[in-house]
Amino acid sequence: MPVIQDFSKSARMDYSVESIKKWLKSTGKDRNWLAEKLYVSKSTVDNWLAPSTPTPIPKSKAAFIHSLMEQSQTVESKKVNYDDVLTFSVRLTPEEWKALLPPHVDPKDYAAAEKYIRNLLQSIVDSTPPMPRPQEPDNNA
């Protein structure tokens, strides 16, 4: 299996032709997408990723593929902290505060009440499944 020289800072990631194919598939991308990113034709990408006797990938293009792979790995491995991503104000009437707060939380203790409501909203967000993303067809990976 041909291996592309590693130009990235991280030597942990596999940059073989096979790993590039797997990466495309796992990220829902295809060879057309990669060709557009690299400003080359799809047939050029096909030649690079050919199962037998692939054409060597030019160093500059290989380095760019590596950066795309690293970026996708970084995004996938980050744990989402909703406070960093989404912040919005919720204005509640006194009746709504009373309805949402359990008896042991004093509505006049604003810090405790806000903490309880914040945790309640966070638990709703955490238990809600993410919206499905449309998948691009994977005809060539």
Is the predicted pLDDT of residue 3 greater than 80, yes or no?
no
With H, G, I as helix, E, B as strand and everything else as coil, classify residue 112: helix
> For position 107, what pLDDT does the model report?
79
> For position 35, what pLDDT does the model report?
92
User: 62 near 31, Cβ under 8 Å?
Assistant: no
Residues in the chain: 141
The fraction of the chain above a pLDDT of 90, given in percent, is: 16
Is the predicted pLDDT of residue 19 greater than 50, yes or no?
yes
Per mean pLDDT, which range of 29-43, 54-68, 116-130 is the poorest? 116-130
